[in-house]
């Protein structure tokens, strides 16, 4: 009888250890999963728009009109945003070379890499972000050099323009 009780204690002890190990592993797997939260950004827009701190929304040139819009209501430091450039004219945009630089404090040139949005040939977009510095409200100038192709004259034309905008601490 004592032998049976001793054997049962050994088996129960092994079973409890295995159960405890399994429970700790299961708890670790559950606890180490990333928390999935959907963050709603009230500053983001559903469609590109001009912002209040923007000098010009539409830039009229001899080759057509360029619209510069954003996917945010206002540009805040260290928060990514998108810049959209659309074109209304008779030519075709080939390339947009652009950069932005600080007006009230020079912080270097920040390159902007525009890509053509496949839905529309005349809509280009770039991802950007401005950095925080000593100034709580920065003024930025976006410089654009747009290479266009004139199908009628079979030649390439470059058009330059700029847009000023402001950024704010978050």
Q: Are 87 and 105 a contacting pair, CB within 8 Å? A: no
What's the pLDDT score for residue 34? 61
What's the pLDDT score for residue 141? 95
Arithmetic mean of pLDDT, 108-132: 86
Q: Measured between alpha carbons, how far is 71 from 82 in angstroms, rounded to an integer? A: 6
Would the pLDDT of 68 be above 90?
A: yes
What's the pLDDT score for residue 151? 87
Tell me if residue 87 falls in helix, strand or coil: strand
Q: What is the pLDDT of residues 24-64, one digit of tens each?
A: 565 566 666 565 555 556 667 678 889 888 888 999 999 99
Q: Which two tokens stand for residue 19?
A: 């159960």
Query: Is pLDDT larger for residue 170 or for residue 39?
Result: 170
What's the pLDDT score for residue 124? 94
Q: Measured between alpha carbons, how far is 69 from 79 in angstroms, rounded to an integer? A: 16
Name the residue with tokens 């923007």.
54
Q: Which two tokens stand for residue 82?
A: 């998108």
What's the pLDDT score for residue 17? 62
Q: Which two tokens stand for residue 4?
A: 């049976």
List, in sequence order, the alpha helices (H) in the chain.
Answer: 2-31
Q: Are strands 155-168 and 75-76 parallel, antiparallel or unpaired?
A: parallel
Q: Are 66 and 96 a contacting pair, CB within 8 Å? A: no
Task: Please report, in angstroms and rounded to a whole number, the separation of the first and last CA atoms in the chain.
Answer: 75
What's the pLDDT score for residue 13? 65
**Strongest mean pLDDT among 20-24, 41-45, 69-73, 132-136:** 69-73
């Amino acid at each position: 009888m004592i032998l049976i009780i001793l054997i049962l204690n050994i088996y129960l002890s092994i079973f409890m250890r295995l159960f405890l190990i399994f429970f700790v592993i299961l708890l670790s797997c559950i606890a180490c999963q990333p928390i999935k939260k959907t963050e709603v950004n009230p500053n983001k827009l559903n469609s590109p728009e001009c912002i209040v701190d923007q000098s010009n929304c539409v830039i009229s040139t001899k080759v057509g009109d360029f619209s510069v819009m954003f996917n945010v209501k206002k540009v805040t430091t260290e928060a990514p945003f998108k810049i959209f450039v659309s074109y209304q004219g008779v030519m075709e945009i080939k390339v947009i070379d652009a950069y932005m630089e600080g007006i009230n404090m020079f912080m270097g040139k920040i390159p902007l890499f525009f890509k053509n949005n496949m839905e529309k040939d005349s809509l280009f977009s770039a991802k950007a972000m401005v950095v925080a510095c000593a100034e709580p409200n920065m003024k930025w100038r976006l410089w654009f050099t747009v290479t266009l192709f004139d199908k009628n004259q079979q030649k390439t034309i470059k058009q330059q323009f700029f847009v000023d905008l402001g950024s704010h601490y978050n």
